[in-house]
Amino acid sequence: MRDKFIRFMYGRYGIDSLGKFTIAAGLITIVLSSFVHWRFLPFISWLCIITAYYRMFSKNIYKRSSENQWYLSKTCKLRAFVSRQKNLFAQRKTHHIYTCPSCRQKIRIPRGKGKIEIRCPKCSTTFIKRS
């Protein structure tokens, strides 16, 4: 069974970021359609799921990968923003992030050091904050 599947997938495109996005969009619209009774919502979710499967089993790898590149380039800024927010959230327990009052440079200070003077590495302005 497993061999059969591997043989079936040989030379096919498989899943990528755009594929994951279309599957997620399909599932979200399916869940949404049970709350919101908008006529086109089930149609959109089926379209997403079918597109995702079509792309997964497609043998035109070049075309699929260029679609994925297009998707990645369109969502580049958004993905960078999300990963930055995640990173900041992960550091919240151990560090404070202050913004320099004169040049807006972000400065990362470890927590629990009491009242300290901070010198901006970019413009050398000093200011006092609790860490």
Binding site for Zn ion (CB under 5 A): 100, 103, 105, 120, 122-123, 125
Least distance to Zn ion from the beta carbon of 97, Å? 14
The contacts of residue 56 (CB under 8 Å, 6+ apart) are 12, 13, 14, 15, 19
Q: In the bound complex, what is the minimum distance in angstroms from residue 27's beta carbon to Zn ion?
A: 45
Nearer CB in complex with Zn ion: 53/127: 127
As measured in angstroms, the least distance from the Cβ of 96 to Zn ion is 16
Between 83 and 125, name the residue whose CB sits nearer to Zn ion: 125
Closest to Zn ion by CB, 18 vs 120, is 120
DSSP the chain: -HHHHHHHHTTS----HHHHHHHHHHHHHHHHHTTS--TTHHHHHHHHHHHHHHHHH-S-HHHHHHHHHHHHHHSHHHHHHHHHHHHHHHHTTTEEEEE-TTT--EEEEESSS-EEEEE-TTT--EEEEE-
When the beta carbons of 50 and 123 are compared against Zn ion, the nearer one is 123
Q: How far is the CB of 103 from Zn ion (least distance, A)?
A: 3
